[in-house]
Amino acid sequence: MRFSPAWRRTTRHAFVSLGLIAALSGCGGDEITAVPQKITVSASPNGIAVRAADGAVFITDDQTNSVLSSLDGHTFAHYASVPAVAGQSNSLSQLSFADASTLMIERFGFGTASAVFSITGVDAIAALSGPDPARRRLGLISIGSNRLLSTWFVKIGSNPLQGGLSLITYDPAAHTAVERDLLSGLGKPVGVAVSGDAVYVSDQANNDIVKSSLSALLGGSQAVAPTGTFVQINSPDLMAVDAGGKLYTKCNTTGLCRIAPDGTISVLANDFQDARGVAVDAPRGKLYAIDHAASASGTSYVRSFPLN
């Protein structure tokens, strides 16, 4: 049997493609190899969190100054409104689950009206009294026992930004809280993540991520400066960490990166408009990331990557 040259070229290309697929599928490690999902959201999102029990996804929305939720990760609907500040733009920061059902959320506040809220159900929201409203708040994570870690910075005129990491201990019934500083001497701390005894803070002003011992910070009598840089990385933002201790955050202008426990940096995607919040859904093996629109008229997305 004779085959035409065109048929032979097509067949050869097909076998090359199959060989490439086979080679990729044989790669070891915990690389993200499948095609990520990209879901359009009618919102202006920053923070994102996943409820471990059922995989429900929660995002902040600056358009409506609220939290939106989705049971399937595709269709988002109203969950809870956050009190607005008269004459001030909406700017909601990180979301974090304090327990199986209670969400904690921060309002940035622009130097006058930052706040921390607990959300226990649909439109069941309460502010914690006590945290300093002059601190511009970005990162937030629960460390159990009614305790939160909050990143913040202050901006006074043309002076350099000054920021830190604080512990917020709160009473969930009375909605009162006490704030104590743990880390000082940072520029613009944004993301915070905890893995074992290690606490990581991304400092956007200094283009780095610092690492400290959480137990040492909690046991100290006063705030301390970071002992050194864990990694240098351009434009880090909000962060998440997986069970293996790998960090995920924005990198460069359009990237989303993974940082291994030894500090090795890998670019997972380099086509983001502006990566913001990230969340790991460990039970379902997914990484979620906010892709914030580059302009007010643009489109934002919730993107998800399967973690092998």
Catalogue the E-assigned strands of 187-274.
189-195, 198-203, 208-213, 229-232, 240-241, 247-251, 255-259, 265-269
Alpha-carbon distance of 233 to 161, in angstroms, equals 19
- 216 φ/ψ sector (left φ>0, alpha ψ -120 to 50, else beta): alpha
User: Long-range contacts for 253-262 (Cβ within 8 Å, ≥24 apart)?
Assistant: 256/289, 257/233, 259/209, 259/230, 259/231, 259/233, 261/195
pLDDT at 7 > cutoff 60: no
Q: Residue 222: is it exposed, middle or buried by C-beta count within 10 angstroms (0-12/13-18/19+)?
A: exposed
| Among candidate residues 136, 139, 130, 132, the one with its CA nearest the CA of residue 170 | 130
- pLDDT at res. 280: 98
| Residues 258 and 26 sit within 8 Å (Cβ to Cβ) | no
pLDDT (tens digit per residue) in 36-88: 699 999 999 999 999 999 999 999 999 999 999 999 999 999 999 999 999 99
* Residue 175: both structure tokens together: 């909605």
CATH topology classification for 42-238? Neuraminidase (2.120.10)
Cα(167)–Cα(204) distance, integer angstroms: 20
Selected residue with higher pLDDT from 7 and 252: 252
For residue 12, is pLDDT > 90? Answer: no
Domain regions of the chain by residue span: 42-238
CB atoms within 10 A of CB 40: 12
Instruction: Report pLDDT for 10.
Output: 41
What's the mean per-residue pLDDT of the chain? 90
Q: Encode pLDDT of 149-197 as tens digits.
A: 999 999 999 899 999 999 999 999 999 999 999 999 999 999 999 999 9
Q: Is 220 exposed, middle or buried (0-12, 13-18, 19+ CB in 10 A)?
A: middle
Provide the whole-model pTM. Answer: 0.88
pLDDT digits (tens, 9 = 90+) for 277-307: 999 999 999 999 999 999 989 999 999 998 8
For 304: left if phi > 0, alpha if psi spans -120 to 50, otherwise beta; the answer is beta
pLDDT computed for residue 228 by the predictor: 86
Distance CA 214, CA 199 (A): 6
